[in-house]
């Protein structure tokens, strides 16, 4: 029996679903996470630089390199474990360490990332996170630690995954430039579930930060739209004025349309990416299956109060940009119609003027034809008179009578000849 031919991408795509497993972690432990992004054109960046930067870190610890073309890596460096992932716009590094520092959220957790290595990263840090994972203590002790570690006003706490853990964070950047999260793990929680909790906390922070880039773009675009909207309103109002120059207004309106199209092109990717990142944030929070803990706001409630308004601003800017583009197109169509009507009226007046000039030319031509007939007849009669004057003695007809007799047929013949010539030209 002949073997079945597989699609060339079958195994590659199937293995992609299993290429980024969650780490296995046992409390107490810690995770130090950092993400880099190039400030401009991150999608089209040279991804070989990301790999080279990873290899430089692995070389410092004598660890093996990833496979050629790899977009993720998980391996041991010294007494720590490193997880590296390459994404569409950014690249992330996570260090997993056993045990925790005596001082909560000590920046020494980032020591596996040498300072000079961080400074030469191909991009800029857009977020970094320290996650402290501890066995779950008594409720009173959790309360005291939360008050000591976080800002109460923005603190979000919840029991997750059917009370498998209590997670907490205030989404504030500390004096070392890091976000801080704590996870208190229940005794029955498995190591892989702990790894999933830590991974989701990192993803929530990462995609929240990435989607906020869309908010920054929306604020800049909003200011530009306000200026363009004022100009657009003034132009539309001027269209109904008595002294409006339609073609000049149309040029100004097309200029606004071009600026709106440019803004749309510049913002489309960032706004689309923001929608995708927002969806991931909401999905990761939903996957945690939060329950309220000690009356505190949950992560979902924090996002609803602090994060969702920013995302609604992005959505509003997107709708506003689309609406203004439609308005400018409608106004341009209306003005273009007005210009066409004015041009039709001008063309009609021009045609009437041409008709009048043609009629005058026709009359002038007929006048000239009449003068031509008279002139030709005069000279013809004169010539024939000289010819017939010699017959005066023989015929006894006087010169005057002879001239009169010649004139009538000559004029008739000349007029007939001119009419025949004119008819042939007109054909």
Indicate whether 412 pLDDT > 70: yes
Distance separating alpha carbons of residues 291 and 252, to the nearest angstrom: 57
Distance (Å, whole) CA 210 – CA 271: 11
Q: Are 319 and 187 in contact (CB under 8 A)?
A: no
What is the helix (H) or strand (E) element at residue 169, kind and residue range? Answer: strand 165-169
Listing DSSP states for 226-288 in one string gives HHHHHHHHHHHHHTTSTT--HHHHHHHHHHHHHHHHHHHHHHHHHHHHHHHHHHHHHHHHHHT
Asked if residue 233 has pLDDT above 90, the reply is no
Distance CA(281)–CA(302), nearest Å, equals: 12
Structural domains of the chain, ranges and CATH numbers in brackets: 22-191 (no CATH), 211-349 (1.20.58), 359-426 (no CATH)
Alpha carbon distance 112, 77 (integer Å): 8
Classify the C-alpha dihedral 404-407-409-411 as positive or negative: negative
Instruction: Convert the pLDDT of each residue in 308-362 to its tens digit.
Output: 999 999 999 999 998 888 888 887 777 777 767 777 777 787 887 887 887 777 7
Closest CA to 339 of 422, 233, 254: 254
Q: How confident is the model at residue 217 (pLDDT cuts 50, 70, 90)?
A: very high
b/e map of 197-212 (b: 16 or more CB within 10 Å)? bbbbbbbbbbbbbbbb
Angle at 330 between CA 326 and CA 336, to 5 degrees: 140
Q: Which two tokens stand for residue 213?
A: 């880039």
Mean pLDDT of the chain: 86
Percentage of the chain exceeding pLDDT 90: 53
What's the pLDDT score for residue 304? 94
What is the arithmetic mean of pLDDT over 393-420? 70
> What is the predicted pLDDT for the residue at 203?
96
Q: What is the mean pLDDT of residues 70-76?
A: 90
> 366-387 pLDDT, tens per residue?
776 666 667 777 777 677 676 6
Do 162 and 289 contact (CB within 8 A), yes or no?
Answer: yes
Q: What mean pLDDT do residues 21-47 have?
A: 91
CA 157 to each of CA 32, 55, 105, 152: distance values in angstroms, whole numbers, following the listed order:
20, 38, 17, 10
Q: What is the predicted pLDDT for the residue at 140?
A: 94
Q: pLDDT category, 195, cuts 50, 70, 90?
A: very high
Q: Place 156 in a pLDDT band, splitting at 50, 70 and 90.
A: very high
Q: Taking residues 243-255, what's their average pLDDT?
A: 73
Task: Judge whether 269 and 221 are in contact, CB under 8 Å.
Answer: no
pLDDT interval class at 105 (50, 70, 90): very high
What is the tens place of the pLDDT at every residue in 259-268?
888 888 888 8
pLDDT at 118 over 70: yes
Q: Count other C-beta atoms under 10 Å from residue 375's C-beta.
A: 11
Average pLDDT over residues 139-167: 95
Q: What is the mean pLDDT of residues 178-204?
A: 95
More confident residue, 399 or 243: 399
How far is residue 346's CA from residue 211's CA, in Å, rounded to a whole number? 55
Choice between 23 and 184, residue whose per-residue pLDDT is larger:
184
Going by C-alpha positions, the residue among 338, 140, 103, 302 that lies closest to residue 208 is 302
pLDDT for position 253: 81
Query: Token digits for 65?
Result: 């390199």
186 or 405, greater pLDDT: 186
DSSP annotation of 103 reads S
| Highest mean predicted confidence (pLDDT) among 56-70, 198-212, 404-418 | 198-212
| Mean pLDDT across 283-290 | 96
Q: Which of 47-51, 106-110, 287-291, 367-371 has the lowest mean pLDDT?
A: 367-371
Determine phi and psi for 113, rounding to 5 degrees: -100, 100
Compute the average pLDDT of residues 286-292: 96
Mean pLDDT is lowest, of 61-75, 140-154, 180-194, 228-242, for 228-242
Phi, psi angle pair for 97, to nearest 5°: -125, 140
pLDDT score for 344: 77
Question: 66 near 85, Cβ under 8 Å?
Answer: no
User: Is residue 104's pLDDT more than 80?
Assistant: yes
Contact status, residue 12 vs residue 69, Cβ threshold 8 Å: no
């Amino acid at each position: 029996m002949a073997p079945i031919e597989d699609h060339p991408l079958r195994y590659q795509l199937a293995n992609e679903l299993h290429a980024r497993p969650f780490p296995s972690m046992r409390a107490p432990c810690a995770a130090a996470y950092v993400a880099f992004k190039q400030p401009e054109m991150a999608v089209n960046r040279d991804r070989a630089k990301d790999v080279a930067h990873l290899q430089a870190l692995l070389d410092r610890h004598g660890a093996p390199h990833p496979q050629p073309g790899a977009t993720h890596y998980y391996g041991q460096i010294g007494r720590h474990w490193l997880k590296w992932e390459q994404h569409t716009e950014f690249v992330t590094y996570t260090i997993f360490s056993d045990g925790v520092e005596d001082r909560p959220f000590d920046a020494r957790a980032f020591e596996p990332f040498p300072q000079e290595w961080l400074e030469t990263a191909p991009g800029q840090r857009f977020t970094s996170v320290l996650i402290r994972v501890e066995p779950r203590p008594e409720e009173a002790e959790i309360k005291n630690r939360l008050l000591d570690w976080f800002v109460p006003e923005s603190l979000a706490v919840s029991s997750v995954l059917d009370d498998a853990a209590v997670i907490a964070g205030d989404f504030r950047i500390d004096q070392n430039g890091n976000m801080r999260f704590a996870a208190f793990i229940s005794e029955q929680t498995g190591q892989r579930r702990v790894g999933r909790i830590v991974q989701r906390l990192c993803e929530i922070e990462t995609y929240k930060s990435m989607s906020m880039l869309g908010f920054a773009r929306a604020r800049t675009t909003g200011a530009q739209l306000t200026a363009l909207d004022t100009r657009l309103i003034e132009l539309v109002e001027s269209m109904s004025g008595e002294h409006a120059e339609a073609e000049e207004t149309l040029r100004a309106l097309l200029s606004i349309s071009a600026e709106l199209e440019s803004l749309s092109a510049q913002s489309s990717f960032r706004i689309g990416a923001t929608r995708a990142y927002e969806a991931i944030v909401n999905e990761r929070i939903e996957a945690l299956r939060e329950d309220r803990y000690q009356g505190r706001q949950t992560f979902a409630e924090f996002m609803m109060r602090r994060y969702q308004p920013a995302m609604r601003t992005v959505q509003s800017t997107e709708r506003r940009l689309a609406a203004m583009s439609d308005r400018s197109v409608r106004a341009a169509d209306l003005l273009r119609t007005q210009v066409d009507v004015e041009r039709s009226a001008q063309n009609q007046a021009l045609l009437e003027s041409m008709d009048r000039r043609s009629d005058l030319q026709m009359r002038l031509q007929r006048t000239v034809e009449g003068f031509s007939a008279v002139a030709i007849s005069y000279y013809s009669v004169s010539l024939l008179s000289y010819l017939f004057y010699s017959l005066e003695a023989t015929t006894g007809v006087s010169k005057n009578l002879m001239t009169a007799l010649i004139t009538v047929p000559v004029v008739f013949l000349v007029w007939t000849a001119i009419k025949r010539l004119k008819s042939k030209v007109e054909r």
